[in-house]
Structure 1
């Protein structure tokens, strides 16, 4: 079974593209969603986060205090690296267990915003980059995430690889720029991956 990574900057449309692949029978592991889930449901990871970032990392009902944790890590690169060093190994274990459940598929997708940045692409057979301009991604993100300000989105974009770098590193590209059919691109790419 091939493992294909799918990435793109915030607002590029990764989740939408993955839903189209899922309609074609290709399972998708949403790494960012699973990372959030594990931070609240993996007792070992929860304890590590509390030990490193304090009890305020969680609310009284056991939910991750995202506002508090974001304030801690997005203004301090060393703290962000520290958090990632806790979360990424837990996600890697979870991903391998998930892959075993889908061994009968021709390939699976691993959807992750920071696929190249974390180096996790090295454990995959190929990568897809979902590409859209920064202006379009900013517009989409602000309309989707009402809790974010423009400065928040730009700060996230600065933590991600530049578009040009992602384009160079990716094996395949899907253009989600509102000028080409994404369905046709996904269908063609699905056939290409399965026949390679």
Structure 2
């Protein structure tokens, strides 16, 4: 029996990881797309090899070492490069996530995917949780987390939003404007309403 696939998504700095941690604490399995991609970007990994053979990304490599910070700067300054990178890596990430889901015997599996609505290839989700927060709070959190200036943080948020595809009208929005305690209470309330928490 295929498990219910519940996506946790939202723009950068919105609080997706906080929601994922809350869900984990409640006993659910969470697959992180970032962690999956991190492994795929290790030397010899599928995404590492796929990027390395693409001539547009040669400058991101120092010999056999992929400079991820330099790659991030490259795609941040060139939206076409970001789309190209996504078209290369997203199908591989989705395939690996689907493999992990198939190996699980859980009834409900959560998948944290920062750029779900930007992905060129997506698996069908049974439910989407979209985490959002006010822009000024989001920028402050991002600037503090990544140790960057407010202007750069706001630019990163705008760039992500500009690339976002159509959102699922059935998604459940999780507001994250206040405290972690409020967020936890809200997440538990939603899971109970959707009969996910009680059925686990």
Q: Which TM-score tier does this pair reach, normalised by the shorter chain?
A: 0.7 to 0.9
Give me the whole-angstrom Cα distance separating, in 1, the residues matched to 2:24 and 2:121.
22
Partner of 2:60: 57
1:50/1:41 Cα in 2 relative to 1: closer, same or farther (>3 Å)? closer
Partner of 1:71: 73
Give me the whole-angstrom Cα distance separating, in 2, the residues matched to 1:107 and 1:71.
36
Q: String of CA shifts for 1:78-133, please: whole Å, max 9, x gaps.
A: 2111111111011011101111232x222111111211122556621110011210
Contact 1:121 1:127 in 2 (8 A): no
**Aligned partner of residue 27 in structure 2, secondary structure:** coil
Shift of 1:149: 2.8
Q: Which runs of 5+ in 2 are unaligned?
A: none
Q: Which runs of 5+ in 1 are unaligned?
A: none
Contact 1:6 1:110 in 2 (8 A): yes
Shift of 1:151: 3.1
Runs of 4+ with >3 A deviation: 41-44, 53-56, 119-122, 165-170
Shift of 1:23: 0.9
Give the TM-score taking structure 1 as reference length: 0.84
Aligned residues: 191
Partner of 2:144: 143
Partner of 1:4: 6
Match of 1:84 among 64, 83, 86: 86
Match of 1:98 among 74, 97, 100: 100
Shift of 1:63: 4.6
Q: Which moved more, 1:120-129 or 1:4-13?
A: 120-129
Give me the whole-angstrom Cα distance separating, in 1, the residues matched to 2:178 and 2:31.
25
Contact 2:47 2:89 in 1 (8 A): yes
